[in-house]
Amino acid sequence: MKLSPGAVKILPDVISQEEHDSIVDELLFNHTEDFSLKRFRRRKYERDHWDAAIVGFKEIERPLSQWSSGNRIVLERVRGIISQNSDPIQSWLEPHVIDLAKDGEILPHVDSIKFSGGLVCGLSLISSRVMCLQPPQESPENYAKGPDDMIQVQVDPRSLYILSKESRFDMAHSIAKCPENSRRMSIIFRDALSS
């Protein structure tokens, strides 16, 4: 399996530890009057949907305007880093926050090509996981289970991954479960479909 240069980019340390902690703090601990965030914190992880691509997770769209000003500036800087590392971006969708439970995993999938554009990028928070990329399959049980037929990359806290071209459209991505996993969060940035 070959990917063209730059189809998967992993940029380490795009935010500092203080910036990381401040983002996690806003999401999980800060006193807030933001009711959608309060509901998000209280919400149980979703596990029951048998065909869900994500198991043991919760997700919220959190527009940049809703973040505290310090964290908003950091997330805008991350968008800027994505722009510098990709083809020109017409417009952005609002970021999504994914909260994966200790035993949560994201099964292989291709992000909807109906709603988002040519980029899928993730800022990883709290703990390291392995991201796998492999050719999409018609049915979930057809996915390779072993490492031979997949590309694996480690996504560490404070790193940013950028999937574009084949890694966005012609490969499925997943976040593996592993025995010593701990909770992981990510902030997902996507561009809008250009018309």
Among 15, 119, 162, 188, binds ligand OGA (CB under 6 A): 188
Choose between 69 and 85: whose C-beta lies nearer to ligand OGA: 85
Q: Which is nearer to ligand OGA, 33 or 135 (CB)?
A: 135
Residue with tokens 């399959």: 137
Q: Where are the alpha helices (DSSP H) in the chain?
A: 17-28, 35-42, 69-84, 165-169
What ranges make up the beta strands (E) of 36-183?
54-61, 96-109, 119-125, 129-134, 151-155, 160-164, 172-175
Residue 26 lies near Mn ion (rule: CB under 5 A): no
CB 163 to Mn ion: min, Å? 8
Residue 186 interacting partner from ligand OGA, Mn ion, none (CB closer than 5 to 8 Å by kind): ligand OGA
Longest dimension (CA), the chain: 48
What are the backbone dihedrals phi and psi of residue 151, each rounded to the nearest 5 degrees, phi first?
-100, 130
Site string for ligand OGA, 99-138 (x = CB under 6 A): -------x----x----------x----------------
Q: Please, what is the minimum distance in Å from the beta carbon of residue 118 to ligand OGA?
A: 15
Judge contact between 28 and 126, C-beta under 8 A.
no
- Looking at the Cβ atoms of 26 and 111, the one nearer to ligand OGA is 111
Query: For ligand OGA, which is the closer residue by CB, 33 or 92?
Result: 92
- Which tokens belong to 88? 């020109």
Q: Identify which of residues 22 and 116 has a Cβ nearer to ligand OGA in the complex.
A: 116
Q: Which does 98 bind (CB under 5 to 8 A by kind): ligand OGA, Mn ion, none?
A: ligand OGA
CA–CA distance, 120 with 169 (Å, rounded to integer)? 10
Sign of the C-alpha dihedral computed for residues 88, 94, 96 and 97 taken in this order: positive
189 backbone dihedrals φ, ψ, rounded to 5°? -110, 130
Binding mask 77-116 for Mn ion (x = CB under 5 A): ----------------------------------x-----
Residues lying near ligand OGA in the complex (CB under 6 A) are found at 98, 106, 111, 122, 173, 175, 186, 188
